[in-house]
Copies of this chain bind each other. A is one copy, B any other.
Amino acid sequence: MPSPSPIPIGELRAIPVLGIRDVFAGDSVAGLVVDALALGGLRFHAGDILVVKHKIVSKAEGRAVKLASVKPSAAARNFARKNAADPRVVELALREARRVVRKRHILITETQHGLVCANSGVDVSNVDGGASAVLLPADPDRSAAQIHRKLKQRTGLHIPVIIADSFGRPWREGLCDVAIGVAGIKPIHDYRGKRDAYGYTMHSTEEAVADELACVAGLVCGKNARVPACIIRGYPYRRGPGSARRMVRPAEKDLFR
């Protein structure tokens, strides 16, 4: 019988990474973060986690697209006309989609990565004022792993990396951040079979810690303050290779598909 194993509890801190300059194709996200921290007199500590908003990762990987270069298909123009959307953004969303989940008012798609979200994650805010859209990273887990490796080179430390984006969700209003790329940390904390403080064995408790960590970045980074990353200090995470794909519920297990 497994013995109780409460996580040691202490104070959690979330430190915004200020002073990151505009990001362009070819930039190193890890380098920009380490340099910005150093300018502010800060550095990574052992045990820190880095959460990066996806947009700077996409920009660094050349995933910004000039809207003037996009020729919308008839389907994109049709949907955009009926729903007061930009047909070029709709076109990009359709190109990035594996399938369309819903199209009513907005386009809900399943992306090539298996993520279900609005417009395949294609977004025009916080790019360049409306001339370009940014696509999700082609492989956010690979992006997270690259940043994780680069941080190791720069700092000598094992720093887990979470790439976050803000998604809507069924049933509830408002966006919450979720982890779309993960490296160096187990994204799900499995309490199944563990006993609670009263000796009761928990059956179905799996905690989506990577998404909860992404939500911390949602609070600290804001949406319009040019703060695309934060450090989370004091969370007793569990090491693992990571993978945000692990967080996508397989269709056969999902009651809502």
Per-position 1/0 for A200-225, Cβ under 8 A of B: 10101111110111011011111111
Which residues does chain B contribute within 8 Å of A115, judged by CB atoms? 171
Bound-complex Cα distance A16 to B216 (A): 15
Contact of A169 among B6, B170, B198, B226 (CB under 8 A): B170
In contact, B215 and A211 (Cβ under 8 angstroms): yes
Given contacts A171-B254, A176-B212, A216-B216, contact A196 B6 (CB under 8 A): no
Bound-complex Cα distance A11 to B40 (A): 13
Which residues does chain B contribute within 8 Å of A169, judged by CB atoms? 169-171
Q: How far is the CB of A142 from chain B (nearest CB, A)?
A: 20
Majority secondary structure of chain A interface residues (helix, strand, loop or mixed): loop
Give the size range of A's interface with the partner.
35 or more
The yes or no answer to A246 lying at the interface (CB within 8 A) is yes
Given contacts A129-B199, A166-B205, contact A11 B9 (CB under 8 A): no
Which residues does chain B contribute within 8 Å of A166, judged by CB atoms? 205, 207
Interface-forming stretch among A27-35, A91-99, A119-127, A148-156? Answer: A119-127
Q: Given A125-B202, A173-B248, A211-B215, 14 more contacts at CB 8 Å? A: A6-B226, A9-B220, A126-B197, A126-B200, A170-B170, A170-B254, A173-B249, A174-B207, A174-B208, A175-B205, A176-B208, A176-B215, A205-B223, A216-B216
12 A-B pairs with C-beta separation under 8 A: A4-B224, A9-B18, A13-B14, A106-B204, A125-B200, A166-B205, A170-B255, A170-B256, A172-B211, A175-B206, A191-B224, A212-B219
